[in-house]
Amino acid sequence: MFTTVLPSDSTAQIDVRKPTGRRTRRSAVSEITVNRPTGLTPYYSFPGQTDRIELRSFYPFLALIIEQFHNSVALEGHPALNRSIVGGLKRLHQADGTACTVISLGDSVSFDELVKKPEAWWPQYPSAIDARRLRDRITREGNTLLVNTAICVAILAELYTTTSDVDAKRQDWQFHHRTRLTVSSCPIADFGVMAGSVTGPNIGQLAYYDTQAKSTTYGQDPNDHYWIYFTTIRGEVLYLDCGLYTLSPGPVLKADPYVADHLTERFTLIPAFLRDSTTRKTMPNIHTERSRTSVLKNTDIVAALMRNQRDFEKENGELYSQFMQGISGKETSARDKRLITPFVQVTRAQIRANLLNGRWKGYPPEPTLVSDIYDLIRPPQPSGVKQVNAVFAGWQEELKRIEEKEARARRTGTKQH
């Protein structure tokens, strides 16, 4: 008998006993005991089997982990989330042709005012929708290289260090069955972090002007952007970009099928964009690749994951930092060095708990696509790619009505809430 214990952030633990007696398919089932939050269903798997997880069904869960990260660290020091906004937003065009929205920062505000009193955080806000959208853009800003690296390392650790060989030698935390990602039943052959830029008519950078210090700080740069790529054995390349919302607020996913019982209710919508064969036909490409760096084929990271994580926590953190530095060409900041290892551990724990309880089996084949304002106006359309064009048309109509209504209100001197 041996026991597999999840990282300290997780609540689950499994106890696996080798079957005795005649070896039949039924007797080969591992006995798994899961200490779990209320509402989770234990997942039973056969030693020697391979679980194939469809990426289109699973990627919203990865996006939810990233959304949790942004909400947990955004208040750590972002000036626009603890200072009031003076006046309106100023949209400028920079020398390179890209757009930039300048936000002027004033006096300090509390967290309660930020969340519940938009008139205190942004006294001249055009509407509650605009205030919420801006707050979400700032909360989700940056960290694209950090979060994508952590997600890829966690996927490698929890899905791709497993084996279907019943007699294989395993670390005490490894599963007794193999788990792999697929796209339309086609296995993933490689994944990692892609560096490049994003361009488009609605792409814009945020800049923050400190009215007290008389200085300007620039936010997330569309010309220094990072996202995850997946390559199938047939050569199809898919992009997963969860960092676009700050640059261009747009479609988001309904989070409720993916939110576990122990998570807060504030994660109702999550930004994520998966560029696959379908969207490649219906939407223009806004990504320009500069480089791609594999995590799956990185032998140093694979070796690091196979050793004791607590004993080698510092060494692993340095390895992740070097990996990020190799992608960006810039020295990894002290902040990112401090955050990368804990985020890898938290991400691993969440993926592991998901696999242990088979939660991924209950996910819809594709997420429900909505707008960051659409859900406030009318019920969202059904999920699926076929409805995307109709939903986009509906958003444009509703946005036009809202803008006309607010324009009338400004002319008459009243404010719409």
The CA distance from 189 to 183, in Å, is 11
What the block records as the tokens of 272 is 């994520």
The string of pLDDT tens digits covering residues 313-356 is 888 999 999 999 999 999 999 999 999 999 999 999 899 889 88
Closest to 240 in 3D by CA, of 23, 27, 64, 37: 64
Residue that has been written with the tokens 């504030």 in this structure: 266
The CA distance from 156 to 295, in Å, is 7
Strand partners of residue 181: 53
Q: Please list, in sequence order, all residues whose beta carbon lies within 8 angstroms of the beta carbon of residue 56, skipping any fewer than 6 positions away.
A: 183, 274, 276, 365, 366
Strand partners of residue 48: none
Contact in structure between 211 and 105 (CB atoms under 8 Å): yes
The string of pLDDT tens digits covering residues 397-417 is 444 555 566 567 667 765 444
Q: What is the pLDDT of residue 201?
A: 79
> In the chain, what is the greatest distance between 2 CA atoms, to the nearest angstrom?
83
Q: What is the pLDDT of residue 117?
A: 86
Contact in structure between 257 and 64 (CB atoms under 8 Å): no
The string of pLDDT tens digits covering residues 273-303 is 999 998 888 888 999 999 999 999 999 999 9
Mean per-residue pLDDT, 218-231 = 96
The residue that leads in pLDDT, 397 or 190, is: 190
The string of pLDDT tens digits covering residues 15-64 is 322 333 333 322 222 222 223 333 333 333 444 577 899 999 999 999 99
The CA distance from 319 to 52, in Å, is 29
Is the per-residue pLDDT at 156 higher than 60? yes
The rounded radius of gyration (Å) of the Cα atoms in the chain is: 23
The Cβ of residue 328 has, within 10 Å, a number of other Cβ atoms equal to 16
Helix (H, G, I), strand (E, B) or coil at 235: coil
What the block records as the tokens of 315 is 């060494």
The string of pLDDT tens digits covering residues 68-110 is 899 888 666 788 999 999 999 998 887 777 789 999 999 999 8
Closest to 252 in 3D by CA, of 280, 271, 232: 271
The string of pLDDT tens digits covering residues 161-184 is 864 343 444 444 445 567 899 999
Closest to 149 in 3D by CA, of 272, 295, 9, 291: 295
The CA distance from 291 to 168, in Å, is 36
The residue that leads in pLDDT, 199 or 262, is: 199
The CA distance from 153 to 301, in Å, is 8
Average pLDDT of the chain, as a whole number = 77
Is the per-residue pLDDT at 213 higher than 90? yes
> Predicted confidence band at 269 (pLDDT cuts at 50, 70, 90)?
confident
Q: What is the pLDDT of residue 399?
A: 44
The CA distance from 228 to 181, in Å, is 14
The CA distance from 17 to 99, in Å, is 60
Q: Please list, in sequence order, all residues whose beta carbon lies within 8 angstroms of the beta carbon of residue 265, skipping any fewer than 6 positions away.
A: 259
In the chain, where the domains are located: 51-412
Counting DSSP H helices and E strands in the chain, the numbers are 11, 17
Q: What is the pTM of this model?
A: 0.76
Contact in structure between 125 and 99 (CB atoms under 8 Å): no
The string of pLDDT tens digits covering residues 103-120 is 999 999 988 888 888 889
Strand partners of residue 293: 193
What the block records as the tokens of 298 is 């990185």
- Amino acid code (one letter) for 229: Y
